[in-house]
């Protein structure tokens, strides 16, 4: 009887560790798929918007539009939604490149809250970026390229 109980214990322990490894692998794969998707989404968006800002002055036009509260609030709802979705799907605080997506998600959520709740503050904040449009555009492009590269590696 002693060996039979031992055999069952080993079998149950084997199943437990198999299922635990399967769950962990599946869960990590899902997170990685979400990480890659969000890196490509944010990376592509940042690269496109950065180049548009350099070529057409998109950032300057957006800064001018912050004078209108309805523009700031409506873009705030978009930021709020994007940030909330990112935080819900990817609230991952790890010591690798994926933490950048989490930080972008939280900063987008906070920006959305600021835009919808305090649009007049956003106008004042946007005026600081007026003189550094080219630099800000280059930083946006570099962040986008970083995310796109990390999503491929």
* Residue ranges covered by each domain of the chain: 30-152
Confidence of residue 26 (pLDDT cuts 50, 70, 90): very low
Predicted TM-score (pTM) of this structure: 0.72
Q: Do the Cβ atoms of 145 and 40 come closer than 8 Å?
A: no
pLDDT digits (tens, 9 = 90+) for 74-104: 989 999 999 999 999 898 899 999 999 999 9
Task: Give how far Cα 65 sits from Cα of 71, 112, 125, 126, Å.
Answer: 7, 16, 13, 10
């Amino acid at each position: 009887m002693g060996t039979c109980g031992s055999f069952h214990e080993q079998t149950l322990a084997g199943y437990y560790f198999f299922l635990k490894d399967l769950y962990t692998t599946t869960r990590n794969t899902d997170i990685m798929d979400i990480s890659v998707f969000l890196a490509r989404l944010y990376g592509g968006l940042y690269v496109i918007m950065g180049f548009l800002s350099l070529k057409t002055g998109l950032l300057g036009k957006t800064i001018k539009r912050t004078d209108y509260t309805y523009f700031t609030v409506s873009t705030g709802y978009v930021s709020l939604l994007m940030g909330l979705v990112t935080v819900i799907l990817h609230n991952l605080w790890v010591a690798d490149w994926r933490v950048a997506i989490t930080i972008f998600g939280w900063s987008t959520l906070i920006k959305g809250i600021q835009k919808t709740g305090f649009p007049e503050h956003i106008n004042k904040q946007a005026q600081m970026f007026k003189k550094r449009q080219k630099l800000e555009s280059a930083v946006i492009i570099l962040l986008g390229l970083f995310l796109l590269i990390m999503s491929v590696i």
